[in-house]
C-alpha cells in the first residue's frame, strides 16, 4: 500500500472530491485527518474509511479563520509528530458579476481558497519528512472559465502560480508540491452552481467525472510513484482543456 502509516491531512474532506480522496488514502493504509466544518459529514467520511479497515479522524476547521488553522495543525503534529501528505481541496465559489460582488465576499473566498493554502504550507512544511508531498486542488477554471465566477477562477490561477513558485523553494527529494485541476465532476459544488442550473454553463453529463477518478489522480500525485513530478498541474478533466 502506497500510504501505509503515512499521515495525510485533507481539507474539504467532508464531501465530493475531498471525501473520495480521504477514502482512497485510507484504503491505501494512510492515517487520514479529515478536515472540514461539518462534524456530521466528517463522521460519514471517517466511518466509511474505518468500515474499509482504515484509520481516520475528523477535525473541525474553518479555513476562513487563521487561528483555527494554526490550532488544527498543532493538534495534528501533537498527535502524529509529522505530516507526510497535505491535500488542499476545500474551496468556495461566488456567482455574481464582479461589479455586483461585495468585496468582503472576494476577501472570504481568497481566504478559504488561497490564503489557507499558503498558511497550511507554512505550518506543515517544518513537520514534513523526506518523501512528503503537497497537492493543491485547482480547477480548469484557472485556464478556461465562465462569466460570474471571476474570484474563483482568479484564486485557482493564483494557486497554480503558487505551486510553480513554491517548487523553486523546495527540494523535491524532501517535499514535492503539485496541483490537480479537475474539470466537471459529480459533486455538490457542480450541481449547486447557478450557472449550471440556469444552463448558462453547459455540462455534458456524459463527460462529467467521478470523485473517485479525481481521488485516484490525487493519490498518484501524492505518492512516491510521482517522485519526479514537481511544480506542475495535472489536468484531470476528460479532455476539456484539450479543446482550447
Pairing label, strands 175-182, 55-60 = unpaired
Banded pLDDT at 185 (limits 50, 70, 90): confident
Go through the domains of the chain in sequence order and give each one's CATH number: 7-237 (3.40.50.720)
pTM, two decimals, is 0.94
How high is the pLDDT of residue 204?
Answer: 67
Q: How many CA atoms lie within 13 A of 150 on its CB side?
A: 13
133, pLDDT greater than 90 = yes
β-sheet bridge partners, residue 56: 32
Per-residue pLDDT band at 158 (split at 50, 70, 90): very high
Residue 242 has pLDDT above 90, yes or no: no
Side-chain-facing half-sphere of 161: CA atoms under 13 Å: 9
Residues with catalytic function: 152
Separation between Cα atoms, residue 138 and residue 142, nearest integer Å: 7
User: pLDDT: is 6 or 196 the higher one?
Assistant: 6
Question: What's the mean pLDDT in 8-30?
Answer: 98
Crossing angle of helices 116-124 and 150-169, in 10° steps, is: 20
For residue 206, the model assigns a pLDDT of 64
Contacts of 34 (CB under 8 A, 6+ apart): 10, 13, 14, 19, 22, 42, 45, 46, 49, 56, 57, 58, 59
pLDDT band at 208 (very low <50, low <70, confident <90, very high): confident
Q: Residue 149 has what pLDDT?
A: 94
Q: For 41-46, what is the mean pLDDT?
A: 98
Residue-level pLDDT at 33 = 98
Residue 200 has pLDDT above 70, yes or no: no
Bridge partners of 9, per DSSP, are: 33, 86
Average pLDDT score over residue span 190-214: 75
Using CA atoms, how far apart are residues 173 and 155, in angstroms rounded to an integer? 28
pLDDT of 191 above 70 = no
Q: How confident is the model at residue 146 (pLDDT cuts 50, 70, 90)?
A: confident
pLDDT of amino acid 209: 85
Amino acid at each position: 500500500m502506497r500510504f501505509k502509516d503515512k499521515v495525510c491531512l485533507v481539507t474539504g474532506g467532508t464531501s465530493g472530491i475531498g471525501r473520495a480522496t480521504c477514502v482512497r488514502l485510507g484504503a491505501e493504509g494512510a492515517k487520514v485527518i479529515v478536515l472540514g466544518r461539518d462534524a456530521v459529514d466528517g463522521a460519514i467520511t471517517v466511518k466509511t474509511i474505518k468500515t474499509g479497515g482504515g484509520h481516520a479522524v475528523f477535525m473541525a476547521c474553518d479555513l476562513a479563520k487563521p487561528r483555527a488553522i494554526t490550532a488544527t495543525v498543532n493538534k495534528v503534529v501533537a498527535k502524529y509528530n509529522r505530516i507526510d501528505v497535505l491535500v488542499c481541496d476545500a474551496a468556495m465559489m461566488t456567482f455574481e458579476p464582479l461589479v455586483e460582488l461585495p468585496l468582503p465576499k472576494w476577501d472570504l473566498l481568497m481566504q478559504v481558497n488561497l490564503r489557507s493554502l499558503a498558511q497550511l504550507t507554512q505550518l506543515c512544511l517544518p513537520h514534513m519528512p523526506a518523501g512528503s508531498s503537497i497537492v493543491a486542488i485547482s480547477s480548469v477554471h484557472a485556464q478556461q472559465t465562465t462569466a460570474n465566477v471571476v474570484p474563483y477562477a482568479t484564486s485557482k490561477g493564483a494557486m497554480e502560480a503558487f505551486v510553480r513558485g513554491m517548487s523553486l523553494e523546495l527540494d523535491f527529494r524532501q517535499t514535492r508540491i503539485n496541483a490537480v485541476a479537475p474539470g466537471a465532476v459529480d459533486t455538490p459544488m457542480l450541481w449547486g452552481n447557478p450557472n449550471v442550473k440556469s444552463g448558462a454553463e453547459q455540462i455534458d453529463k456524459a463527460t462529467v467525472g467521478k470523485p473517485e477518478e479525481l481521488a485516484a489522480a490525487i493519490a498518484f500525485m501524492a505518492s512516491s510513484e510521482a517522485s519526479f513530478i514537481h511544480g506542475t498541474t495535472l489536468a484531470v478533466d476528460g479532455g476539456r482543456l484539450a479543446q482550447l
